[in-house]
Structure 1
Amino acid sequence: MAEMLTVFNEEEKPIGIKEREDVHREGDWHETFHCWMFLRNECDIHLLFQQRAWDKKDFPGLYDITAAGHIEAEENLMDAGLREIEEELGLKLKAEDLLSIGRYREQLSHGKWDDREICRLYFFPCTSLPTFSVGEEVQDVVRVSLKEVASMLKGENTSVTAISVLNGKDQTLTKESFVPHEYGYMQYILHSVHSYITKL
């Protein structure tokens, strides 16, 4: 059964419902849920990235948002988000566990489709690593120093060290290892993490 999404105009007013494939092909604005998890300790802050499964249709094997997904037509935003987190990472969270950091409009072009997302952004701050049980859409979950991510975005370094939270193995990742989000999107995420930490 096709996944149905609500589509929006430039003013973010709902204007109809379409199949997901049509939405991406025709470049309609639609809603997505993004949850970034980060690990904070006395020494550093690490962002958690999921590695997309190798059999994914889009960006197979690349590293991306900790948990994310489309909000289906007539589906509640938070219900959709909590469902995605459980399906992808095996974590059963509650709405009060998540911190809203607003929304960001992002446009990603890939092949024959134009993905225009109204991203509903959330944080799940961790003081210790959760016990993940990843679903079939996820290959791995890794942690990367926030400082290294910021330096790579600025072009100060060409790679980062990623440590798997599933098996403890480390590897070197380059910018090409990650889903190519807009520069502004990643800057928004990093700035929001820093703002959260400084308020503690």
Structure 2
Amino acid sequence: MKEMLTVFNNEGEPTGIKDRDEVHRDGEWHETFHCWFFEQKDKKIYLLFQQRSSEKKDFPDLFDITAAGHIEAQENLMKAGLREIKEELGLELKAEQVKKGGVFKEVLKEGTFIDKEICHVHFHRYTSALDFDIGNEVQDIVRVPLEQFSYLVTGECRRISGVSLLSEHSIDLVKKDFVPHEVGYERFIIQSICEYVEKL
């Protein structure tokens, strides 16, 4: 079954419904759900990244948002998000466990692939009591210190360390290991999480 998405103009007004492949081919604005898991431990903040499956058509093997996906036409935003979390991470969260972090418009390009997303960003405070049961779109979940990731984004360091939450193995990461999001998006995530944590 084709995945049908609502498309929007530059002003954010819906203009119709198109097949997902056509949306990416034509570079149409569409809505996505992003949920960043974070952990607080020893007064430090950690981000959780999923490693995309090597079978993924776009950005295989790269590290990305903990859980994310498209919001299909006429689909409820939160229901879509909780569905993606369940499919990718095997976790059944409730709406009140996922907090709004804001909206960011981002453009990703790779060859003829043009991904113009209206990103509905959300956060979830992770605890080790949750057991991941990853789906076939994900091959690992890695925890990275937020401060180190921030240095990687700004270019203050070239290599950072993470820990797999599935195997407990350490892993070294460089910028090219991550999905190439806009720097503005990455800085938005870092700042938003810091502000969110301060209010807890």
Question: Smaller-chain TM-score range?
Answer: over 0.9
Give the residue type in structure 2 aligned to 1:44.
Answer: K
What residue is the counterpart of 1:54 in the other structure? 54
**For residues 43 and 121 of structure 1, what CA distance do their matches in structure 2 show?**
24
Q: Deviations over 1:41-67 (max 9, x none)?
A: 224111000000001000000000000
Question: Deviation per CA, 1:35-91, whole angstroms, max 9, x where unpaired?
Answer: 000011224111000000001000000000000000111111111100000000000
Aligned position for 2:112: 112
Return the alpha-carbon distance in structure 1 between the equivalents of residues 42 and 191 of structure 2. 19
In the TM superposition, 1:1-200 aligns within 5 A as 1-128=1-128, 130-200=130-200
8 Å Cα contact 1:41/1:127 also seen in 2: no
The separation in 1 between residues aligned to 2:66 and 2:42, in whole angstroms, is 22
Q: Identify which range, 166-175 or 39-48, moves more after superposition.
A: 39-48
What's the CA shift for 1:152? Answer: 0.8
Q: Which runs of 5+ in 1 are unaligned?
A: none
How far apart are residue 198 of structure 1 and its match?
1.7
Q: Alpha-carbon deviation of 1:129?
A: 5.4
| Cα offset, 1:177, TM superposition | 0.1
> d(CA) in 1 for partners of 2:68 and 2:158?
26
CA distance in 2, matches of 1:10, 1:112: 20
* Corresponding residue SS for 1:167: coil
Contact 1:90 1:133 in 2 (8 A): yes
How far the C-alpha of 1:124 sits from its partner, in A, is 0.2
- Equivalent-residue separation in structure 1 for 2:60 and 2:113 (angstroms): 16
- Unaligned ranges ≥5, structure 2: none
Instruction: Tell me, in whole angstroms, the C-alpha distance in 2 between the residues paired with 1:129 and 1:184.
Output: 33
User: Hey, what's the Cα distance between the residues in 2 that align with 1:17 and 1:56?
Assistant: 24
Report percent identity of matched pairs: 54
Whichever residue aligns with residue 70 of structure 1, its letter is: H
Q: Aligned-residue CA RMSD in angstroms? A: 0.9
TM-score (norm 2): 0.98
Q: What TM-score, normalized to structure 1?
A: 0.98
CA contact (8 A) 1:39 1:129 kept: no
Deviates more, 1:40-49 or 1:14-23: 40-49
Deviation of residue 199 (structure 1)? 2.0
